[in-house]
Amino acid sequence: SQTIHQWPATLVQPVGSPLSLECTVEGTSNPNLYWYRQAAGRGLQLLFYSVGIGQISSEVPQNLSASRPQDRQFILSSKKLLLSDSGFYLCAWSSDFTGELFFGEGSRLTVL
């Protein structure tokens, strides 16, 4: 069966520090991968999506970046965090065949 994991679950970082959130998918190949952010009291916002290794599309201009070094690995990064980067980050994957969407457990980031 397919599973998706992301970590860390909780992160408190000072302004200006770097960020790395990692997401891995098991039990499937060539998944579509997504990073979403949910600010406090707000809806889900698509940040990045990837349809294959090294293929990243950005939906929102910001100081975040994403990489897909392996087929089932998706990483969200920042060189210097801003206060506005605080939020709940969700990784997700979908299959081209079914279109169904599966979410990771989420990572709650607080930037102080």
Partner 1 sequence: KNEVEQSPQNLTAQEGEFITINCSYSVGISALHWLQQHPGGGIVSLFMLSSGKKKHGRLIATINIQEKHSSLHITASHPRDSAVYICAVDNNAGNMLTFGGGTRLMVKP
Q: Which of residues 13-32 bind partner 1 (CB under 8 A)?
A: 32
Q: Which stretch binds partner 1 (CB under 8 A): 18-26, 64-72, 77-85, 101-109?
A: 101-109
SS3 85: helix
Q: Which residues contact 3 (CB under 8 A, 6 or more apart)?
A: 25, 26, 27
User: Residue 29, CB half-sphere, CA atoms under 13 Å: how many?
Assistant: 0
Tell me if 112 contacts partner 1 by CB under 8 A.
no
In one-letter notation, the amino acid at residue 83 is L
Are 14 and 112 within 8 A, CB to CB?
yes
Binding region for partner 1 (CB under 8 A) out of 11-19, 21-29, 67-75, 99-107: 99-107
Among 1, 14, 40, 43, binds partner 1 (CB under 8 A): 43
Q: Which residues are near partner 1 by CB under 8 A?
A: 32, 38, 43-44, 46, 49, 51, 59, 88, 90, 92, 94, 96, 98-103, 105-106, 108
